[in-house]
Amino acid sequence: MLDETPMEEKSNLMSRRILAVDDEEAILGVVRLNLINEGFDVDTAADGESAIRCFEHEHYSMAILDVMLPDFDGFELARRIRQRSDIPIMMLSARDTDLDKAVGLGIGADDYLTKPFSPVELVARVKAHLRRYDQATTPPNERPDEILKVGAVRMDLGSRTVRKHDESIELTAKEFDLLALLAGQPGRAFTKGQIYSAVWGDQWVSDYSTVQVHIRRLRSKLEDDPGEPALIKTIWGIGYRLDSCDSRT
């Protein structure tokens, strides 16, 4: 398979250190080998406590966590990591249920990959998350200073902050990107596949449950009545549309 990643982007990605946590040695071997082959530095851990100790001594650009660990589960590990870092977190699990995905995404994970997985897809998702994270953490003075107004919601794309009625609203990086996508083209209906490709960076994978979970979380934070959303509308059989974007300044 031809690698079409630009050379400058490759250089930026290759300096990254990733932590992979799984109690299955074979899985860790696959993850480590494929990421090292792409130029990443990779540390591994077989349980949650070892992973926490790794974080105490090393700076990581991303974490890949198995859900089932021998001491405490990957969801708890993701919570602890999220308390100290906003790096991308990918969950790995043999269980492919909407509930598991909702739990993982609800505690701050950015992605959920079901075992067995394609090493090519794993690497592609890792690169996509790191690109998104770079964009999200670029200093405001290096990005266009643009304001979007979504009804009573005000988005500052430069500082990546959101306020509603002058009250600060805390969004994750993916929630912000999703809202910015919808608010950037008010009135346009986006399919779930288009949303997943734009926000998560995978053009050939469309994880509809991930999109649905993030839409639900956005509504819980932004809508006056999440049960009767006025901002983010569901277009049945298609996807979602943002209706109340008043202006762009």
Any bridge partners for residue 155, and if so which?
148, 162
- 107 and 30 share a domain? yes
- 219 and 244 share a domain? yes
Find the helix packing angle between 119-137 and 173-184, rounded to 10°.
80
Residue 95 in this model has a pLDDT that exceeds 90: no
pLDDT in tens, 5-17: 443 444 455 468 9
Tell me, what's the pLDDT at 51?
95
Phi/psi for 248 (5° steps) reads: -130, 130
Let me know if residue 50 belongs to a domain: yes
Cβ-based neighbours of 100, under 8 Å, separated by 6 or more? 67, 93, 112
Tell me, what's the pLDDT at 54?
94
Contact 215, 240 (CB under 8 A): yes
Let me know if residue 73 belongs to a domain: yes
Structure tokens at 60: 């990581």
- 23 and 98 share a domain? yes
Residue 52 in this model has a pLDDT that exceeds 90: yes
Phi/psi for 195 (5° steps) reads: -65, -45
pLDDT in tens, 97-138: 666 677 767 777 888 888 888 888 898 889 888 888 877 665
How far is residue 63 from each of residues 14, 142, 214, measured CA to CA in Å?
15, 27, 20
What is the value of pTM for the model shown?
Answer: 0.56
Let me know if residue 90 belongs to a domain: yes
- 53 and 152 share a domain? no
Point out the domain boundary residue: 137, 165, 190: 137
Structure tokens at 223: 């809508």
Any bridge partners for residue 212, and if so which?
none
- 71 and 18 share a domain? yes
Enclosing domain of residue 131: 7-137
Let me know if residue 1 belongs to a domain: no
- CA-wise closest residue to 14 among 3, 25, 24: 3
Q: Comparing 18-27, 63-72, 134-143, which segment has the lowest mean pLDDT?
A: 134-143
The answer for 91, left when phi > 0, alpha when psi is -120 to 50, beta otherwise, is beta
